Amino acid sequence: MARSVKGYTLATYLALMSRMGGDVERMSPRARKAYLKRRLRLIEAQIRALSDRLYAQSGDTAHHWTIRQEPFDDDRWAVLVSLDYLIAARESLKTAMRTL
């Protein structure tokens, strides 16, 4: 499949992928902003997916959440903790992008 893409080289792909986990401070401001925007889109997609998963697990409305008596199961707690982390990461990214 890679041969069907015009101008594709494995070296370019490997260089781009190595920068994904690379040093963000060494990127040019334009590249840094593009990197942060991409990370923000990925985090927002993860938030939507986890929110949909949480809603599908509950199968009830917000009203039932407020009067719920039984404790959450482990899977629901894992989703809630992940959502909390992703929302904090999203806010941090937005703050970083505003300061650029």
Q: How many domains does the chain have?
A: 1
* Domain encompassing residue 66: 2-99
Any idea what the Cα angle at residue 77 is, between residues 75 and 79, rounded to 5°?
70
CB atoms within 10 A of CB 43: 19
Amino acid found at 81: V
pLDDT digits (tens, 9 = 90+) for 38-94: 999 999 999 999 999 887 766 655 555 555 566 777 888 888 899 999 999 999 999
**The pTM of the whole model exceeds 0.75:** no
Backbone angles phi, psi at 28, to 5 degrees: -70, 155
